A and B are shown apart, each in its own frame.
Chain A
Amino acid sequence: MKPKEEKSRIPEMIARRESDLLADWLQEQLAAATLRGDLMKESELREQSHQFLNLFVRACSQQTGMSDISAPGWEDTREFLSSVSRARAHQGFSPSETATFIFSLKQPLFTLMRQELEGDPRKLADEMWVATALLDKLGLFTTEAYQKGREEVIRRQQQELLELSTPVVVLWEGVLALPLIGTLDSARTQVVMESLLQKIVETGAGIAIIDITGVPTVDTLVAQHLLKTVAAKRLMGADCIISGIRPQIAQTIVHLGVNLADVITKSTLADAFAVALRRAKLVITRAENHG
């Protein structure tokens, strides 16, 4: 280890003049162009800054030193920064606005160091370097944590979308319907296929209708996915009807040369349902008016 780190006076300086530093830092943050008063209250910012300084001083004074923020001594600080970044990512801060939280500490800290180490330029330069390197690392860490927070949100939304998009409904005894909405890709088709087949087993339904009214485009891949689903259902012993084929989609399918000859296709869900009822030997009649 570099010997100069061991005698770093930074923690001691900060601890001694913490309130001054905090005030300066807050002023700096409030004056910055990246301040988002609309997203966060001043009192909250003050609380966060205060908490961070506390943790920062504690971490700096530890044996592990100030060069490696992945050391165990920095764990509390890291955790705190992660939670702050994540919260800000959710609140709608931009990455640079989030990172400014750390970077805006530089100026007040350097001012403080200059005042404290006035007579010793060598020492001042060394300490400056240590502090810059450390704050840069912490700043990058916040950005990373911010990114992770965002990714978490995206992943959760994807998951929710996947769950939302595959409802299997029972239309009648022995007749299932699966209204598909949105673009079909391999992953979704897999989920759709599995949930539909599972439902067929549970209900013992003989006929399943896949309604693609909500599918914006059908290309060869989507058609292939549909055919696979139909084939799998046939293997299990259930019949399949594809409904909701719009005129443009019918044209596309023919132009692409997709062979849907083995599949029953209907233009509306109502037509498909009528076929399903006929298969099940059920008839719908208008009730006589007994008025």
Chain B
Amino acid sequence: MERIPILKMGDYLLVTIQVDMHDRLALTLQDDLTEGIARTRARGVLIDISSLEIVDSFIGRMLGNIAAMSRVLDAETVVVGMRPAVAITLVELGLSLPGVRTALNVEQGMRLLQLAGAEQENFNGRGER
């Protein structure tokens, strides 16, 4: 079955979406990712959607859901590299993804995750594990 690979990079999970998302694939990704976070105890998830050209309301909602789920599992989500057309579409659909952090590219996204991680460490001493 078709799957989107999830790479582990240190404390973070890296997901690069390089194919057109269809609903089944999105649901599989959701399953794999929550599973992955729980298994690897990742602190953050970085989703690179720079090759994603088409979104619909379902994919938009799924991005929001993944962020919410990761937060429940104590991991931050950063969505990076959204194309202008995709951003406009999502806003027009009324999905401004309030809970999702965003960055222009993977590099900035990584920095954002590290900052967020450092903040959390200070906050609840999670770094001791």
Q: Do A and B come from one complex?
A: yes
Name A residues whose Cβ lies closer than 8 Å to a Cβ of B.
193-194, 197-198, 200-201, 204, 206, 228, 231-238
CA–CA, A231 to B82, complex, Å?
A: 12
Q: B80 — which chain A residues lie within 8 A by C-beta?
A: 237
B108/A236 in contact, CB under 8 A = no
| Contact string against A for B residues 94-120, beta-carbon threshold 8 Å, 1 for contact and 0 otherwise | 001100001111001100000000000
Q: A193 — which chain B residues lie within 8 A by C-beta?
A: 84, 88
A201/B84 in contact, CB under 8 A = yes
- 13 pairs of residues in contact across A and B, judged by CB atoms under 8 Å: A193-B88, A194-B84, A194-B88, A197-B87, A197-B88, A201-B104, A204-B104, A206-B104, A228-B91, A232-B90, A236-B104, A237-B80, A237-B81
Q: A233 — which chain B residues lie within 8 A by C-beta?
A: 87
Q: B79 — which chain A residues lie within 8 A by C-beta?
A: 235, 237
A200/B88 in contact, CB under 8 A = no
Name B residues whose Cβ lies closer than 8 Å to a Cβ of A.
79-84, 86-88, 90-92, 96-97, 102-105, 108-109
Tell me which of B86, B91, B108 contacts A237 (CB under 8 A).
Answer: B108
Q: Is the interface of A mostly helix, strand, loop or mixed?
A: helix
Q: B87 — which chain A residues lie within 8 A by C-beta?
A: 197, 232-233, 235-236
B96/A235 in contact, CB under 8 A = yes
Q: Which chain A residue shows the least CB distance to B108?
A: A237
Q: Which chain B residue shows the least CB distance to A199?
A: B84
B102/A232 in contact, CB under 8 A = no
Q: A198 — which chain B residues lie within 8 A by C-beta?
A: 84
Q: B105 — which chain A residues lie within 8 A by C-beta?
A: 204, 237
B102 to chain A, nearest CB (A): 4
Q: A228 — which chain B residues lie within 8 A by C-beta?
A: 91-92
> Looking at B79, B86, B91, which has the most chain A CB atoms within 10 Å of its CB?
B91
Q: Which chain A residue shows the least CB distance to B50?
A: A201
A206/B91 in contact, CB under 8 A = no
CA–CA, A193 to B86, complex, Å?
A: 12
Q: B103 — which chain A residues lie within 8 A by C-beta?
A: 237
B96/A231 in contact, CB under 8 A = yes
A236 and B102 in contact, given A194-B84, A206-B108 (Cβ under 8 angstroms)? yes
